[in-house]
Amino acid sequence: QVHLVESGGDLVQPGGSLRLSCTASGSIFSLNAMRWYRQAPGKQRELVASITSRGSTNYADSVKGRFTISRDNAKNTVYLPMNSLKPADTAAYYCNAVIATVGGWDGYWGQGTQVTVSS
């Protein structure tokens, strides 16, 4: 069984910074792509950033230059430092990872961590 656990969400003022973390644990053979999504109330879940196993990254236009995704393969962990936060960044942030287990490759989700940007 595989678990993804996110942390780092908080209430922060506009212009502030946070760093989200997501760690995968369990019977993991290999980790492929890791992604951060977010979902604001009343809106669809959107892809924020992704990183491949080799470190190639991709970002939503709305976060380019402010968010930086990275990963530590030895720790099965992905990070999302977020700078210059805006009220529009307020959302629940979810980690997603493509993981190989004894059953093969599959996608897994974390439980989410809340980011609120407000003065």
Q: What is the pLDDT of residue 103?
A: 86
pLDDT at 111: 96
Q: What is the mean pLDDT of the chain?
A: 96
Q: What is the per-residue pLDDT across 48-95, written as a single tens digit (0 to 9) for each?
A: 999 999 999 999 999 999 999 999 999 999 999 999 999 999 999 999
Q: Give me the pLDDT at residue 22, please.
A: 98
What is the pLDDT confidence band of residue 38, given thresholds at 50, 70 and 90?
A: very high
Instruction: Please tell me the distance from the alpha carbon of residue 68 to that of residue 82, in angstroms, as a whole number.
Output: 7
Q: Which amino acid is at 51?
A: I
For residues 92 and 39, is the Cβ–Cβ distance under 8 A? Answer: yes
Say which DSSP state 27 is in: S
Return d(Cα 9, Cα 114) in angstroms, integer: 5
> Is 73 within 8 Å of 31 (Cβ atoms)?
yes
> CA 97 to CA 89: how far, in whole Å?
21
- For the chain, give the percent of residues with pLDDT over 90: 92
